[in-house]
Amino acid sequence: MTDRQTIRCPRCRQEALWQDNPFRPFCSQKCQLIDLGRWAQEEYKVPGQKLMDHDNLLEFPNERD
Give this prediction's pTM.
Answer: 0.64
Give the model's confidence band at 65: pLDDT under 50 very low, under 70 low, under 90 confident, else very high.
Answer: low
pLDDT in tens, 13-64: 999 999 999 999 999 999 999 999 999 998 988 888 876 666 656 666 665 5
Report, in angstroms and rounded to the nearest whole number, the Rg of the chain calculated over CA atoms.
20
The separation between the first and the last C-alpha atoms of the chain, rounded to the nearest angstrom, is 73
Residue 2: is its pLDDT beyond 80?
Answer: no
